[in-house]
């Protein structure tokens, strides 16, 4: 029997349908609410709003569960590769051997960017933020691709997805080379996705970079762990822009900008900066934690807390273990890892963090792994973007092929001035009326 919820207001009541997902998450379908009651719902930050039905990724934040298309993240991280999981996210199933080979061939075939695009890099100052370059270059890339995609056709879409994933990686490495004033490295056809990226980042004309298995495997895992996270800020951005039937490239360029923010993907950079500052100042960790708790605007425990996880972020646990392993294998002793671990220990014993259910998130240890591999701090969020790309592509496609595809257009509760009479410029008194702060 289908379930309903009852809403009462002003002496009237209405029945609203309840939609139940495959993991029994239930949501009240309020799509007819305004038409029948005149009311809308208000949920700033969307903490309680289901914006869509999606079959890509499942999260249970209370239990610390994350699954891509039904497969647990720890199993994928242990047994799969980034590219295989990307295929899973975009097409719904893990690839067969033949499909994996075909997709890998497509990635190799499309790894070059048009030579003309290399000139675009000259337009950026040498210290331009890499996420700004990435977003601009993804949009520019769109100009070199056919605008109209056969979104429903799997073969065609595999080519579209592979082309974008492969070229974004090439763009990311090229932007780094540009910022350090070194020649751009062309991709190599004999290297797989992640090793090829490291070659493009670090090879020198006189010395090809030979990445260690440990570095390749740690980075591949990191990309896999970032590949999707349901309706996060950047993915919701991609979906919203895509809902206006904007192109794949335009939608993803917007997603890159959203990810750039320090409360989202920018947190991996912010964590390392926080640890660097703590090292440099020598401030006691307990005193830093006290400042965090007091809400000192210069002290937030970056890499901690999550809108959805009210338990350990399963990705953080996997990354923490990978971090120990890769540093060990590469023979690196990083005092920042020790510092991060002590800070975590202090926070997790403190009632402020315990009562608010604040745990380390995906960004807490990922920077330490990237640093060990040699990736500069400024590129951390770009790495997150390369990882998140398959998720964005999968969500964009879901929006564009969805049965109920409509443009996203939220409503609001207006809190500004009521009707005012227009005053001619000579009659204005210049006094600014304090406005009620919008929440
Ligand atoms: N340090 C100190 N206090 C915190 C933190 C933190 N990292 N995170 C949350 N709180 C406090 C917050 O001040 C609030 O306290 P109170 O109830 O006294 O006002 C309470 O915990 C609830 O937090 P919130 O701000 O309502 O939580 P939110 O769901 O709006 O924000 C968040 C989630 C991830 C933006 C936030 O936890 C945060 O700012 N964390 C640090 C930045 C970070 O690590 N971001 C990466 C997120 S995971 C990857 C990704 O999404 O890209």
Residue entry with tokens 């002003």 = 10
* CA-nearest residue, atom 31 of ligand 1: 307
Q: With bands split at pLDDT 50, 70 and 90, how would you rate the model's confidence at 405? A: confident
Over residues 394-402, mean pLDDT: 95
User: How far apart, in whole angstroms, are the C-alpha atoms of residue 375 and residue 172?
Assistant: 12
Angle at 134 between CA 132 and CA 139, to 5 degrees: 100
Question: Which pLDDT does position 2 carry in this prediction?
Answer: 85
| pLDDT category of residue 403 using cuts at 50, 70 and 90 | confident
> Is beta strand 65-68 parallel, antiparallel or unpaired with respect to 26-28?
unpaired
Distance 315 CA to ligand 1 centre (A): 17
Tell me the chain's radius of gyration from C-alpha atoms.
24
In this structure, the residue with its CA closest to atom 6 of ligand 1 is 301
Whether 291 has a pLDDT exceeding 80, the answer reads yes
What gap in Å lies between CA 365 and CA 303, rounded to an integer? 8
The pLDDT of 123-132, averaged and rounded, is 92
Give, using CA atoms, the residue closest to atom 34 of ligand 1. 306
Mean pLDDT of 81-104: 97
Q: Please give the DSSP secondary-structure letter assigned to residue 44.
A: G
Q: Whose CA is nearest to atom 49 of ligand 1?
A: 264
Question: Any idea which residues carry the catalytic annotation?
Answer: 306, 363
Say how far apart CA 172 and CA 217 lie, in whole Å.
19
Ligand 1 centre to CA of 345 (Å) is 18
Chain-centre distance for alpha carbon 122: 27
Tell me how far the alpha carbon of residue 302 lies from the centroid of ligand 1, in angstroms: 8
The predicted model gives 244-267 an average pLDDT of: 95
Residue 84 has pLDDT above 70, yes or no: yes
φ/ψ of residue 57, rounded to 5: -130, 140
Query: What pLDDT is attached to residue 281?
Result: 95
Q: Is the pLDDT of residue 434 over 80?
A: no
**What percentage of the chain exceeds 70 in pLDDT?**
99
Closest ligand 1 atom number to CA of residue 264: 52
| Lowest-confidence segment of 105-119, 149-163, 384-398 by average pLDDT | 149-163
Tell me the CA–centroid distance for residue 357 and ligand 1, in Å. Answer: 10
Q: Are strands 12-20 and 57-60 parallel, antiparallel or unpaired?
A: unpaired
Question: What is the phi/psi pair of residue 15, to 5°?
Answer: -95, 130
Residue range 115-127: average pLDDT?
A: 92
Is the per-residue pLDDT at 49 higher than 90? yes
CB-based contact 260:381 (threshold 8 Å) = yes
How is residue 7 annotated by DSSP? E
| Beta bridge mates, 71 | 68
Closest atom of ligand 1 to 356 CA is: 21
Quote the ligand 1 centre to 262 CA distance (angstroms): 11
Over residues 137-144, mean pLDDT: 94
Give the nearest ligand 1 atom to 364 CA: 44
Phi, psi (degrees; rounded to nearest 5) at 72? -60, 140
Give, to the nearest 10 degrees, the angle between helix 363-373 and helix 380-401.
120
Considering only CA atoms, which residue is closest to atom 22 of ligand 1? 356
Query: Of 305, 315, 352, which is best to mutate to test ligand 1, by the most ligand atoms within 8 angstroms of its C-beta?
Result: 305
How many Å apart are CA 420 and CA 433, to the nearest integer? 13
Nearest CA to ligand 1 atom 10: 305
pTM for the model stands at 0.93
Rounded to whole angstroms, the Cα distance separating 14 from 194 reads 54
CA nearest neighbour of 229 among 257, 255, 262, 196: 255
- Provide the pLDDT confidence category of residue 211 given band limits of 50, 70 and 90: confident
Whether 433 shows a pLDDT value over 80: the answer reads: no
Which ligand 1 atom sits nearest the alpha carbon of residue 47?
A: 29
86-112 average pLDDT score: 97
CA distance 283 to 286: 8
Closest approach atom of ligand 1 to CA 361: 48
Question: Tens digit of pLDDT for each residue in 163-209?
Answer: 999 999 999 999 999 889 899 999 999 999 999 999 999 999 999 99
Q: What is the mean pLDDT of the chain?
A: 94
Asked if 250 and 142 count as a contact pair (C-beta separation under 8 A), the reply is: yes
Q: How far apart are CA 316 and CA 225, in angstroms?
A: 9
Within 6 Å (CB) of ligand 1, which residues are found? 45, 232, 263-265, 267, 292, 300-307, 356, 358, 361-363
The model's confidence at residue 149, banded by pLDDT at 50, 70 and 90, is: confident
Q: How far is the CA of 364 from the centre of ligand 1 (A)?
A: 13
Query: Whose C-alpha lies nearest to ligand 1, atom 29?
Result: 307
* Residue 439: band (very low, low, confident or very high) from pLDDT cuts 50, 70, 90: low
Q: For the residues 393-420, what does the mean pLDDT come to?
A: 93
* Cα(92) to centroid(ligand 1), Å: 32
């Amino acid at each position: 029997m289908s379930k309903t919820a009852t809403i009462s207001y002003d002496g009237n009541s209405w029945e609203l349908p309840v939609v139940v997902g495959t993991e029994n998450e239930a949501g009240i379908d309020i799509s007819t609410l305004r038409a029948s009651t005149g009311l809308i719902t208000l949920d700033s930050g969307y903490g309680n709003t289901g914006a869509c039905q999606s079959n890509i990724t499942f999260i249970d934040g209370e239990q610390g569960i994350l699954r891509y298309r039904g497969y647990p993240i720890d199993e994928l991280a242990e047994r799969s590769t980034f590219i295989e999981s990307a295929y899973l996210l975009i097409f719904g199933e893990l690839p067969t051997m033949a499909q994996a080979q075909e997709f890998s061939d497509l990635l190799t075939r499309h790894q070059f960017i048009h030579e003309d695009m290399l000139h675009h890099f000259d337009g950026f100052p040498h210290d331009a933020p890499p996420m700004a370059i990435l977003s601009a270059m993804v949009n520019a890339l769109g100009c070199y691709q056919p605008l109209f995609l056969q979104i429903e056709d799997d073969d065609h879409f595999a080519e579209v997805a592979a082309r974008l994933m492969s070229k974004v990686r090439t763009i990311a490495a090229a932007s780094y080379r540009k910022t350090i004033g070194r020649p751009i490295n062309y991709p190599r056809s004999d290297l797989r996705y992640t090793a090829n990226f490291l070659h493009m980042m670090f090879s020198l004309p006189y010395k090809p970079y030979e990445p260690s298995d440990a570095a390749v495997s740690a980075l591949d895992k990191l990309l896999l762990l970032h590949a999707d996270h349901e309706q996060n800020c950047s993915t919701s951005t991609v979906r919203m822009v895509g809902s206006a039937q904007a192109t794949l490239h335009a939608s993803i360029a917007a997603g890159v900008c959203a990810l750039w923010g320090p409360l989202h993907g920018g947190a991996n950079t912010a964590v390392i900066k926080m640890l660097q500052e703590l090292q440099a100042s020598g401030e006691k960790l307990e005193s830093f934690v006290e400042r965090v708790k007091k809400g000192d605007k210069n002290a937030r425990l970056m890499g901690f807390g999550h809108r959805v996880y009210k338990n350990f972020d399963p990705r953080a646990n996997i990354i923490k273990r990978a971090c120990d392993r890769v540093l060990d294998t590469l023979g690196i002793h990083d005092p920042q890892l020790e510092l991060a671990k002590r800070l975590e220990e202090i926070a997790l014993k403190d009632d402020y963090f315990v009562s608010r259910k604040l745990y380390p998130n995906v960004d807490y240890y990922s920077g330490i792994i990237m640093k060990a591999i040699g990736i500069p701090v400024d590129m951390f969020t770009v790495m997150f973007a390369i990882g998140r790309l398959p998720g964005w592509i999968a969500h964009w496609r879901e929006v564009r092929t969805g049965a109920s595809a409509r443009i996203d257009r939220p409503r609001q509760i207006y809190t500004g001035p009521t009707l005012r009479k227009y005053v001619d410029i000579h009659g204005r008194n210049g006094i600014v009326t304090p406005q009620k702060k919008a929440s």
